[in-house]
Amino acid sequence: MSETLPKDPVMLLSFINLKLRDFYPSLDEFCKAFNVNESDIRQKLETIDYVYDSKINQFI
């Protein structure tokens, strides 16, 4: 993962959901902007039982 993203999964969740809500129309666009692998993000957030919902563009 990029150095600019929080390492803690809970902080990462908050950061990503904020960015998705306010700036990026999809997880794919977020990952491109931050130069991170989407599957890495998904796996990290699955460790705290959150999955991406593309309909609402948030991890829930």
The answer to the question of residue 1 being in a domain is no
The answer to the question of residue 47 being in a domain is yes
The answer to the question of residue 31 being in a domain is yes
Radius of gyration of the chain (CA): 10
pLDDT of residue 3: 61
The three-state secondary structure class of 48 is coil
The answer to the question of residue 51 being in a domain is yes
The answer to the question of residue 25 being in a domain is yes
pTM metric for this prediction? 0.91
- Distance (Å, whole) CA 14 – CA 3: 16
As to burial, measured by CB atoms within 10 angstroms (0-12 exposed, 13-18 middle, 19+ buried), residue 41 is: buried
Each residue of 2-57: pLDDT tens digit? 568 999 999 999 999 999 999 999 999 999 999 999 999 999 999 999 999 999 99
36 near 28, Cβ under 8 Å?
no
Tally of domains within the chain: 1
The answer to the question of residue 4 being in a domain is no
Domain range holding 24?
9-59
The answer to the question of residue 52 being in a domain is yes
